[in-house]
Amino acid sequence: MPYTRLRPCRPGKAVWRPQQHITPGCRLQSLRSFRPTLGPSRRLPEAANGAPARRVRQPETLYAIGKSQTKGMKTNRMYDEFAHLWPLISDPAGYAEEASYWRQVLRDKLGPGRHAILELGVGGGNNLSHLTADFQATAVDLSDKMLANSRRLNPEVEHHVGDMRTVRLGKKFQAVLIHDAADYLLSEDDLRQTFQTAAIHLHPKGIFVAAPDQYRETFRQSQVYHRTRSKGELELTHIEYANDPDPSDTTTESIHFYLIRERGHLRIEQDRHIFGLFPLQTWLNLMEETGFQVDTVPYDVHEDHREAYLLVGQLSR
Return the half-sphere exposure (C-beta side, CA atoms, 13 A cut-off) of residue 70: 21
Q: How many Å apart are CA 169 and CA 202, to the nearest integer? A: 11
Would you give the DSSP letter of residue 75? B
Which tops the pLDDT comparison, 18 or 88?
A: 88
pTM of the model: 0.80
Residue 161 is predicted with a pLDDT of 98
Residue 190 is predicted with a pLDDT of 98
Q: How many Å apart are CA 196 and CA 109, to the nearest integer? A: 20
Inform me whether the pLDDT recorded for 51 exceeds 60.
Answer: no
Would you give the DSSP letter of residue 162? -
Residue 44 is predicted with a pLDDT of 37
* Range in 10-14, 134-138, 235-239 with the lowest mean pLDDT: 10-14
Residue 250 is predicted with a pLDDT of 97
Tens digit of pLDDT for each residue in 11-29? 333 333 333 333 333 323 3
On whether the CB atoms of residues 224 and 19 are closer than 8 A, the answer is yes
| Residues 6+ positions from 240 with CB-CB distance below 8 Å | 6, 9, 16, 224, 225, 226, 254, 255, 256
Return the half-sphere exposure (C-beta side, CA atoms, 13 A cut-off) of residue 224: 14
Which tops the pLDDT comparison, 59 or 111?
A: 111
Tens digit of pLDDT for each residue in 250-260? 999 999 999 99
Per-residue confidence band for 71, with pLDDT thresholds at 50, 70 and 90 = confident
The dihedral region occupied by 127, where left means phi > 0, alpha psi between -120 and 50, and beta the remainder, is alpha
Per domain, the residue ranges of the chain are 1-317
Q: How many Å apart are CA 149 and CA 126, to the nearest integer? A: 9
Q: pLDDT > 90: what percent of the chain?
A: 74
Number of DSSP helices (H) and strands (E) in the chain, helices first: 6, 13
In this prediction, residues 277-305 reach a mean pLDDT of: 96
What does the DSSP assignment read for 99-150? HHHHHHHHHHHH-SS--EEEEES-TT-TTGGGTTTTSEEEEEES-HHHHHHH
Residue 5 is predicted with a pLDDT of 37
Strand, helix or coil for residue 73:
coil
Per-residue confidence band for 69, with pLDDT thresholds at 50, 70 and 90 = low
Q: How far is CA 143 from CA 47, 124, 138, 162, 311, in A?
A: 45, 10, 15, 8, 25
In this prediction, residues 295-314 reach a mean pLDDT of: 94
Residue 188 is predicted with a pLDDT of 98
CATH placement of domain 1-317:
3.40.50.150
Inform me whether the pLDDT recorded for 56 exceeds 60.
Answer: no
